[in-house]
């Protein structure tokens, strides 16, 4: 073989390699998708077992001890560096696989104090302690068990496909989302200082209002800002037969509840989302006693911080002035308090969201990826958006498509998240959780050889 022919062979090889590389980007993704689908199928029986076990054994906010132990054990067995008890019951698993971005993946772990009334064979009959030590019925009524299962499945897939990604993943199993305290607790306990600080943070939430396996997304505001407010309406108590000697806080509380209804209907611009809900009202001791006080608990929702500030100011104004109209002295005006059960708007980074939507469309098909308007629910995943960390959370449908179609026909809503009868159908919900999270990570952490 002369030098010229070996040179041309070498050039030919280079050309063939270059053609193969450029031509392979699309087929790379197709092969990757097929590999992931195969692996999800193989993992499914085990993941279903994890899911039904979690579903039957929910734990309440900041009491997720067994769930946290399960997650920690799984991640540790997969080779993650695991730290437990971050922000009370939170778990952090870190896995570095070469040089690349750092992506945080979050799953929330807590159930709700609801007595489950679904008809699935693995329905929860659990009665567990809440943070205060009180026994409560418990249910995974917000499907955080699907999130934890999807999280474990994603970790397994990533570890089995280390040649397909480069960078660091920070897997965060977060406590107490339902009281929007867990994310703050983990951040306060050094989530962004003791562990690799993420460039991006991603999460998913299962949603009863969409057909199982469908992905829902939104840019910008995706979940509302939520404020939790307590109002202590004070009166001057006395005998029920001698109302003229008292200032009745029950009558005043009733006036306040009705007047609060005018904030959204009369003060907020039509078309602007805002909610003022009085969820509890407690007052009185006995029918013939006019009590000293009535307690109200409210939840406020908005898609804009200025609108939220308006709601809060209006509530204070209405409380003060109605109490004055009732003749209460200044030192007995209602006490209005915002509780820590409050979160800012969940703001999905537009560029990150667009990138993931393009990935999901490629993986799931356009008919299974749908734009969702922002919801008035709150999410403390919003807390991870700080110190330049860009975030995106998406929805995964969880309800039998036939039931969704029936609901559209009859107008009768399907059971919502937080309903005692809500139970996601595991297939294909769990697969969509694992696949969407894995697809997102394989895209965000794509090695240089697999550019899109």
Positions in the binding site for Zn ion (CB under 5 A): 142
Question: Closest distance between Zn ion and the C-beta of residue 380, in Å?
Answer: 10
The minimum distance between CB 29 and Zn ion, in angstroms, equals 31
Q: Is the Cβ of residue 142 or residue 296 nearer to Zn ion in the bound state?
A: 142
Residue facing Zn ion at closest CB distance: 142
Nearer to Zn ion, 142 or 369 (CB): 142
State the Cα–Cα distance between residues 441 and 243, nearest whole angstrom: 66
∠99-446-154 over CA atoms, to 5°? 100
Contact 68, 186 (CB under 8 A): no
Phi, psi of 192 (to 5 degrees): -95, 5
| Nearer to Zn ion among residue 215 and residue 318 (C-beta) | 215
Least separation in angstroms between residue 174's CB and Zn ion is 11
3-state DSSP of 316-354:
HHHHHHHHHHCCCCHHHCCEEEECCCCECCEEECHHHHH
For residue 171, the minimal CB distance to Zn ion (Å) is 18
**CB 142, min distance to Zn ion, A:** 3
Name the residue among 370, 383, 431 with its Cα closest to residue 146. Answer: 431
| Shortest spacing between CB 94 and Zn ion, in angstroms | 25
Strand, helix or coil for residue 137 = strand
Would you say 292 or 379 has its CB closer to Zn ion?
379
Nearer to Zn ion by C-beta: 316 or 418?
A: 418
Residues shown for the chain:
452
Q: What are phi and psi of 420, to 5 degrees?
A: -65, -15
CB-nearer residue toward Zn ion: 142 or 392: 142
Contact 61, 182 (CB under 8 A): yes
The token duo for 256 is 């306040």
| Cα distance between residue 157 and residue 139, in whole Å | 28
The nearer residue to Zn ion, 142 or 442, going by C-beta atoms, is 142
| Least gap, CB of 382 to Zn ion (angstroms) | 13
């Amino acid at each position: 073989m002369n030098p010229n022919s070996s040179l041309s062979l070498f050039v030919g090889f280079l050309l063939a390699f270059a053609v193969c590389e450029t031509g392979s980007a699309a087929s790379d993704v197709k092969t990757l998708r097929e590999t992931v689908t195969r692996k999800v199928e193989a993992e499914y029986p085990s993941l279903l077992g994890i899911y039904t076990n979690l579903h039957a054994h929910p734990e309440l906010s900041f009491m997720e001890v067994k769930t946290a132990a399960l997650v920690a054990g799984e991640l540790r067995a997969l080779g993650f560096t695991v730290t437990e008890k971050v922000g009370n019951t939170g778990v952090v698993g870190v896995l570095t696989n070469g040089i690349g971005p750092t992506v945080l993946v979050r799953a929330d772990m807590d159930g709700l104090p609801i007595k489950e009334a679904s008809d699935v064979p693995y329905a929860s009959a659990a009665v567990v302690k809440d943070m205060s030590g009180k026994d409560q019925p418990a249910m995974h009524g917000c499907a955080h068990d699907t999130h934890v299962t999807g999280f474990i499945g994603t970790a397994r897939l990533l570890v089995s496909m280390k040649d397909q990604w480069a960078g660091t993943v920070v897997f965060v199993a977060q406590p107490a989302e339902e009281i929007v305290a867990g994310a703050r607790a983990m951040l306060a306990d050094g989530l962004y200082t003791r562990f690799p600080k993420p460039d991006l943070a991603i999460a998913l939430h299962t949603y009863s209002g969409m057909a199982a396996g469908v992905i829902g997304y939104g840019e910008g505001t995706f979940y509302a800002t939520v404020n939790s407010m307590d109002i202590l309406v004070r009166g001057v108590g006395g005998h029920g037969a001698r109302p003229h000697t008292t200032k009745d806080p029950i009558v005043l509380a009733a006036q306040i509840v009705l007047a609060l209804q005018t904030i959204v209907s009369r003060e907020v611009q039509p078309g602007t989302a805002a909610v003022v809900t009085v969820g509890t009202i407690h007052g009185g001791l006995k029918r013939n006693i006019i009590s000293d006080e009535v307690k109200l608990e409210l939840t406020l929702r908005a898609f804009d911080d200025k609108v939220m500030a308006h709601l809060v100011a209006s509530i204070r104004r209405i409380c003060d002035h109605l109490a004055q109209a009732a003749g209460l002295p200044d030192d007995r005006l209602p006490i209005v308090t915002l509780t820590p059960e409050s979160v800012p708007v969940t703001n999905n980074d537009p560029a990150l969201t667009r990138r993931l939507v393009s990935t999901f469309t490629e993986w799931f098909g356009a008919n299974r990826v749908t734009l969702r308007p922002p919801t008035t629910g709150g999410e403390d995943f919003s807390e991870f958006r700080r110190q330049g960390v860009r975030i995106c959370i998406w929805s995964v449908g969880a309800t039998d498509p036939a039931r969704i179609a029936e609901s559209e026909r009859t107008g009768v809503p399907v059971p919502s998240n937080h309903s005692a009868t809500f139970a996601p159908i595991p297939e294909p919900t769990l697969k969509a959780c694992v696949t969407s999270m894995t697809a997102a990570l394989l895209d965000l952490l794509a090695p240089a050889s697999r550019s899109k």
